[in-house]
Structure 1
């Protein structure tokens, strides 16, 4: 077992003392499947301005939904795994959150999105969508594709 690569072995995850996330008592410890950890670590969010937090959440949920842990609820798995999906600026932000301020997946998701996709860009995009019109000499297909990209 000691000769196994880190990604091949199952890893026990326990709540980190001082974490912003309060983990339900029913999920004190569980072993993360090695390939689950590899997938989460391979899809880390760094918090850079060009990265999309909505896309990160979507991809993170897709990864988490691929694995089931018999005695642990999906929400607890998500709460415990999400910090592992962060790196650089995003990890620093998470580590600086007040202790035990997040109790549910919805709270974590809302806090994360509000930090990395603040209202001002959202408001700007919403205005662009509301003012959308087909450009002169633009095909309907091109206009539709442009609209889909905005959405």
Structure 2
């Protein structure tokens, strides 16, 4: 009889172990750029907003937190380190002083191009095809959204 509580049978453990393994792949790659994984995620959101070129105002700290599912206690020191590194700028909104907007500096914008190699290197490290990773990402996104919707209703 198979134990339903066996650790290797748990989805949570598989996700946890995979997340740790992926972090181990990202760490040395991002170290080359002097970035941590959470800093990389912040830059991805800012590059995406910048590339959209839709004239929207820069994202606020709270909008970045919502996009990355990070609380301000985690995000604020992270942004401070990115600012000290010269990659982002934080400033109070001229429309609402309670809001702090985050923008990329020229150095932050220039870092985007060399970072384009990161996804390819991660794909290679996983041993999966790009299509398999896209399918995995889509499944995990669906699981996350379903759980968030369910917990918001509770």
TM-score by length of 2: 0.25
- Max radius of gyration: which structure? 1
Give the structure with the larger helix fraction: 2
